[in-house]
Amino acid sequence: MDTRAVSGNKAPLELRPEPATHRLELKQTEVGSVFVSNYPPYSLWNGDHLDAFQRALDTPWTSESPPLGLYLHIPFCRKRCKFCYFRLYTDKNAAQVEAYCDALAREIELYGQQPAVAGRPVSFVYFGGGTPSYIAGKHLRELVDRVQAVLPWDRAGEIAFECEPGTLSESKLATIRSIGVTRLSLGVQNFNDHILEINGRAHVSMETYRALPWIRALEFEQLNIDLIAGLIGETWETWRQSVRETIDVGPDSVTIYQMELPYNTRFSRQLLDGALGAELADWTLKREWHAYAFDQLASAGYEISSSYTMVRKDTRGSFLYRDSLWHGADMLGTGVSSFGHLSGVHAQNTASWSSYLERVAIDELPLERAYSTTPLDRLTREVILQMKTGSLEVSYFRHKFGIDILEQFGPAFDKLAQQGMLNTTEDAVELTPNGLLQVDMLLPEFYAPEHRPARYT
């Protein structure tokens, strides 16, 4: 995520408060979230703001409304990876998966009746997970037919779809292509089978290689590969090999995440129980691996498109979902635990399977908590998310918010400049390579003082 890139839009579901450690000082990989996907922190969202979200839904859209996206959460996986914190299930049978797809279609139909959505064009669609490619082709087709009847996406600029390599067959990929997917993202993580196994992945690299010719033959517009720097068992030698194999595959983009351990992963539990420790790469080593991969990719003709992503220079490198969200687009977050944003109000669905199904069954939007942002929240949100691109354009913010960010966030920029994380000029803020590699740890500097002590999720 690459939904994580905005990662998107999955709030890590944490069970305990984060360590008090200031993020910039993190060296060891500890239990807690580092990745910043939204602002203000999710822990501040609550039931009291749901009325504001309903008012946003009741207000008809206009030609001035921002672009609208649709996120569909598919919360199924063959197996839970030991590092994964997303809301997903590994124990649902075919009938339950079908019931979920029905509910998801119904939820989108309910959105389609709201004045803020009815008849509004959809600019981008993102199937995230869990594992969207877990779903049988037939169920995917049925889901999409129902969704397209209320929110047609034939004119959308991007339809992105996350895949776990071992769930792909030639016919399933053909179905994925036929529903209009333009950007296919493969969760490769690593090419070493031993590393994949000890980190709890369900797939082996042969399954990645098996799927690649099918993907090429179907001519998807973009292929992205996700890698994680810092899986258990990684060494310089195995990492170099994974980067080499990734470059040999030649995807249009490569996304690299440094492994983190939010509270609800298997590894986090082991770490807290003292059963894991020395095997974990520290943040310095993860940054070195990240930097190595970026260097190798640059030599192979890729360029930086964000702190996590390199794109091949000769391809259409845009990632509309990410770029739209980082510039304040609206998005309907559908499916269990999904979150979205409409006219300045954030909202998240219930994270409970039964509550999700029950509420949709009585034609209720399954919302759980919301947050009505202030103009300053919205400015801060865009500043921190766009920092992940490696630079900020001061005039963009002046034009959109009427505020000079160099003044508004002067102390934070000064502090980070002194630490060698960024440089400022009259019209730009540019992160240094060192700043870019640890951008998520820098972002709390920009939070309002009252939001800083808050848990992230």
Ligand X SMILES: C[S@@+](CC[C@H](N)C(=O)[O-])C[C@H]1O[C@@H](n2cnc3c(N)ncnc32)[C@H](O)[C@@H]1O
Decide if residue 130 touches ligand SF4 (CB under 6 A). yes
The item of ligand X, ligand SF4, none sharing an interface with residue 80, based on CB under 5 to 8 Å by kind, is ligand SF4
CB nearer ligand SF4, residue 7 or residue 386: 7
Q: Is 192 in the site for ligand SF4 (CB under 6 A)?
A: no
8-state DSSP, 8: T
Which residue type, as a one-letter code, is found at position 420? G
127 binds ligand SF4 (CB under 6 A): no
Reading the block at residue 73, the tokens are 């959460």
Q: Is 223 in the site for ligand X (CB under 6 A)?
A: no
CA separation for the pair 150, 169 (Å, rounded): 29
Binding-site size for ligand X (CB under 6 A) equals 20
187 lies in the binding site for ligand SF4 (CB under 6 A): yes
Query: 312 has which bridge partners?
Result: 302
Q: Find which of ligand X, ligand SF4, none residue 111 binds, CB within 5 to 8 Å per kind.
A: none
Describe the strand order of the beta sheet including 428-431 as a list of residue ranges: 391-393, 428-431, 422-424
CB closer to ligand X, 259 vs 357: 259
Q: Count H helices and E strands in the chain, helices first.
A: 17, 15
- Does residue 81 bind ligand SF4 (CB under 6 A)? yes
Does 14 engage in binding with ligand SF4 (CB under 6 A)?
no
CA distances in angstroms from 104 to 140, 327, 333, 339, 363, listed in the order given = 11, 27, 11, 14, 11
**129 touching ligand X, by CB under 6 A:** yes
CB of 11 to ligand SF4, least distance (A): 14
Q: Which residues inside 168-197 make contact with ligand X, applying CB under 6 A?
A: 187, 189
Complete DSSP assignment for 172-225:
HHHHHHHTT--EEEEEEE-S-HHHHHHTT-S--HHHHHHHHHHHHHTT-SEEEE
Q: Are 372 and 49 in contact (CB under 8 A)?
A: yes
186 counts as binding ligand SF4 under rule CB under 6 A: no
- Residues from 251 through 280 that contact ligand X (CB under 6 A): 257, 259-260
Q: Is 131 in the site for ligand SF4 (CB under 6 A)?
A: yes
Name the minimum Å distance from CB 187 to ligand X: 2
Q: Does residue number 224 form part of the binding site for ligand X (CB under 6 A)? A: no
Q: Which two tokens stand for residue 457?
A: 């999720």
Q: Which is nearer to ligand X, 32 or 435 (CB)?
A: 32
Q: Smallest Cα–Cα separation from 368: which of 391, 335, 403, 407?
A: 335
Q: Which of 454, 385, 441, 450 is nearest to 27 (CA)?
A: 441
Q: Residue 164 interacts with ligand SF4 (CB under 6 A)?
A: yes
Per CB under 6 A, the segment of 78-86, 217-225, 305-313, 346-354 that binds ligand X is 78-86
Tokens of 414: 């000064």
The correct pick among 30, 107, 158, 162 for binding ligand X (CB under 6 A) is: 162
User: Is the CB of 111 or the CB of 321 nearer to ligand SF4?
Assistant: 321
**Closest listed residue to residue 81, CA positions, set 226, 211, 223:** 226
The rounded distance, in Å, linking the Cα atoms of 336 and 351 is 5
Q: Which two tokens stand for residue 93?
A: 């049978």
Query: Which residues form the interface with ligand X (CB under 6 A)?
Result: 1, 3-4, 77, 83-86, 128-129, 131, 162, 164, 187, 189, 226, 228, 257, 259-260
Query: Which residues form the interface with ligand SF4 (CB under 6 A)?
Result: 77, 80-81, 84, 86, 88, 129-131, 164, 187
